[in-house]
A and B are shown apart, each in its own frame.
Chain A
């Protein structure tokens, strides 16, 4: 199992690099995930806007939001989401936001 070490604490990741226990997520874990999985050295304010929205939506509905919802609520165009998270909304942004891997062909 590939693990992540954040501030001396071992965080378990699934085979696809998603958090094994989504409740272990915090800002430091997000930063570490962004660096390890997406190659993002410094999370910008815009990164956080996307991440926080996805996180809130997930905690409320236990589901990854449609990319439409992400763009509508953050005000960012679709292209920009892919610039922020090169692996896209599912494997990039949702992963950094600490969600489990979405089901299906992704």
Chain B
């Protein structure tokens, strides 16, 4: 395959020298949008002493975990062998996780760590001098790492490089030094409560439409997509991409829940499980979005929150959000994959694997596998709904990123590098010989589709709700 596609090698300076795009920020400031005037969404201000503020924030925000990741690195090089960037460009030291982390580490050494005060040259302690340096750092932390955490799992010292990356991203976000895509999505999430600025009217209209289509398709007039119903067994949340561009997944879910005899609902507000706070490093945005979901569940007295197929949404809502929001959450949260597993285990739905005869492989989303510990459940379900399941290697916690993680899909300027380093993933996919690659993350769907097209692989991406819905044996009364 590597012979089939000759990538034009990207000059890394072309990435690190990308300027700060301010078009959207200018517009937001002219329009005086609420989140800007309330100080939630930060704009870049050339007049301010951004470098000083960077140092202040570094000192304010540093935690014990961050500090240990700053000092524990022994530069052994193990991370270089685990990162898809450095594996594709083995001769380029700037692609190694340690190099990327060192760009943050050197600032820490200069201002906080004692080694930088005693022998700064030895430990390469250096502070950013001007906004240009900060922009350079922005391109490294946003553009050359998908925050997949594979290097962390292979680090003998337990250095959390992705945590350092997110930390630096958060400080830069506070200074308005962010890629335009990240700014736009954060703006929409602050302003409308969802990352694609879908209005309540459009949201309800789409759900209504899906309900009608289902009723017609299955000829069952009472099949429903309930909205804001109280005291249900669970509240279902989604990725705005589902409502805006591809609501077929909502329809599959509604069909499965109906036949499982489930009492469920979707909330009118607080339905966006995705969270750009995870990618931008902005804990306040993270808190705001996660809290919308938690509060919706309390308002509706739902017994459980079920997250649709979404990697970072699952990680944010199930694991990180409680801390960002400082929220005492006692309603359990689960991924829909566990819901599906329960239905099949308990015989609540009947499935026939013969309905999915094509060879299928499974792509572990970083945020679900490495950061969410959902490793066996998707495989268990796939085994029940497909006849020809093929494992991809390496897999589970060692799987490679779809290369669109860490919010990279929303940052078009870094796409050429992302596709170049997707070679590792493309080879991994091709070696399975499967025709379908299943993933339980919407972001991975787009990341994989993108690289499949680029590397001209004969493969299609599917999601598990589609496969389960397809395999269902429905007995009409």
A residues in contact (CB < 8 Å) with B: 14-16, 18, 63-64, 66-69, 71-72, 77-78, 87-91, 101-106
Contacts and interface: CB of A to CB of B under 8 A. Distances in A.
B247 A67 contact: yes
Contact of A105 (B205, B213, B410): B410
A91 B461 CA distance: 15
Interface string B383-410: 0000000000000000000000000011
Contacts of A91: 446, 449
Counting chain B CB atoms within 10 Å of each CB, the highest count among A67, A77, A87, A89 belongs to: A67
B443 A105 contact: yes
Contacts of A104: 185, 188, 195-196, 240-241, 410
Given A15-B416, A87-B449, A105 B246 contact: no
A88 B241 CA distance: 11
A104 B412 CA distance: 11
A67 B415 contact: no
Nearest to B460: A86
A78 B250 CA distance: 13
Scoring B181, B195, B196, B449 by chain A CB atoms within 10 A of each residue's CB, the highest score goes to B196
Contacts of A103: 181, 184-185, 188, 195-197, 410
B185 A66 contact: no
Contacts of A87: 449
Contacts of A101: 412
A27 to B, nearest CB: 24
A82 to B, nearest CB: 8
Nearest to B446: A106
Nearest to A2: B416
| Most-contacted residue by chain B among A14, A64, A78, A89 (CB, 10 A) | A78
B202 A68 contact: yes
Nearest to B312: A105
B446 A105 contact: yes
Contact of A89 (B202, B240, B245, B446): B245
Given A102-B196, A103-B181, A105-B195, 14 more contacts: A15-B412, A15-B416, A16-B415, A66-B206, A67-B206, A67-B244, A67-B246, A69-B202, A90-B241, A91-B446, A102-B244, A104-B185, A104-B195, A104-B410
A77 to B, nearest CB: 8
A20 to B, nearest CB: 10
B274 interface: yes
A7 B125 CA distance: 55
B449 A67 contact: no
A64 B274 CA distance: 20
B190 to A, nearest CB: 13
A18 B410 CA distance: 13
Interface centre among A16, A72, A101, A106, by most chain B C-beta atoms within 10 angstroms, is A106
A15 B415 contact: yes
A105 B188 contact: no
B32 interface: no
B300 to A, nearest CB: 24
Contact of A68 (B184, B196, B209, B240): B209
30 contacts: A14-B412, A15-B412, A63-B197, A64-B244, A66-B198, A66-B205, A66-B206, A66-B243, A66-B244, A67-B244, A67-B247, A78-B213, A78-B248, A88-B245, A88-B246, A89-B245, A89-B246, A90-B245, A101-B412, A102-B196, A102-B245, A103-B181, A103-B188, A103-B195, A103-B410, A104-B196, A105-B195, A106-B245, A106-B409, A106-B446
